[in-house]
Amino acid sequence: MTIGFIKIHRKIIDWEWYSDTNTFRVFLHLLLTANFENKKWQGIEIARGQLITSLEKLAKSTSLSIQQVRTALDKLKSTHEITIKATNAYTFITLTNYNVYQDKNNLINTQNNTQNHKQITNEQQTDNKRITTTKEGEEIKEDKNIIIPDFIDQVLFDEFLKQRKKDKNKLEGLALKLTIEDLEKWEKEKIGSANEALRNTIKGKWKSLIQPKNNNNNFTNNNNQNKTQGVSEWKRIIS
């Protein structure tokens, strides 16, 4: 009986037997092993919330002594959590409020909600090509129409956006698009310029990006053209 699950409400921590380790252990075991639906066993009708067991079996399953199990059952019986019908062959236990603990409709709703949550989560993970900036793990802004070139370091770019927001000079919409166009232009003129500009702005805590000086004259026009073509061809949408 290891398929499915049971419900445990948080208010159980206020239950009088919650701090009684042995009693709580036995009760939880009974919840886990009781019938979820009506069944027959050797001609005996065992209803939902009932089970057939024995002191020896309960002791073995819970790693308690027979006396500890008997004491725990007596406590549960005294507060009307269970009823017990004992015979020479077995012990027939009924959990009095099983239908309250394990309401079928709530279980179905819980399963549906879990499935819906997983579906939504999967869709969010699949839709991983949108630009998103975060601050302390919380979403700040999402712009579905902005494409970030692949050559831009995402960590630097996110930090740049957070710095702008912190300075109450948030970058979004058309301003964000124009900024990216500037970075693309600088990168075409000199490979690495975009990330250098981001890095300098973050370090200097500047309010705007400044194009790095181009001191590198070792590249030929053909090399620059080939490299910038590669830059323009590889883009991704950051999420």
pLDDT at position 125 is 53
Q: How far apart are CA 162 and CA 165, in angstroms?
A: 5
Residue with tokens 């831009």: 152
Q: How far apart are CA 208 and CA 161, in angstroms?
A: 11
Residue 107's alpha-carbon distances to 5, 13, 50, 101, 103, in angstroms, are 9, 21, 18, 10, 6
pLDDT at position 35 is 86
Burial 61-77 (b: 16+ CB within 10 A, else e): ebebeeebbebbbebbe
Residue 52: phi and psi, rounded to 5, are -110, 130
Spans in the chain with pLDDT lower than 70: 1-3, 104-146, 214-239
For the chain, the distance separating the N- and C-terminal CA atoms, rounded to the nearest angstrom, is 43
pTM equals 0.43
Q: How far apart are CA 217 and CA 157, in angstroms?
A: 27
pLDDT at position 233 is 44
pLDDT at position 121 is 55
- What angle, 0 to 180 degrees and rounded to 10, lies between the N-to-C axes of helices 193-204 and 154-166? 40
**Nearest Cα to 207, choosing from 179, 186, 184, 173?**
179
Q: What domains lie within the chain, and their CATH numbers?
A: 10-101 (1.10.10.10), 126-236 (no CATH)
**Nearest Cα to 75, choosing from 32, 25, 12?**
25
**Tokens at residue 177, please?**
């698009």
pLDDT at position 97 is 86
**Tokens at residue 125, please?**
């993970």
Residue with tokens 């710095």: 163
pLDDT at position 3 is 66
pLDDT at position 120 is 55
pLDDT at position 119 is 58
pLDDT at position 12 is 87
Judge whether 131 and 238 are in contact, CB under 8 Å. yes
DSSP states of 116-183: HHHHHHHHHHH---SEEEEETTEEEEEETT--EETTS-HHHHHHHHHHHHHTT----HHHHHHHHHHH
pLDDT at position 39 is 81
Amino acid at 54: S
Strand partners, 52: 92
pLDDT at position 215 is 58
Q: How far apart are CA 39 and CA 53, in angstroms?
A: 15
Judge whether 134 and 140 are in contact, CB under 8 Å. yes
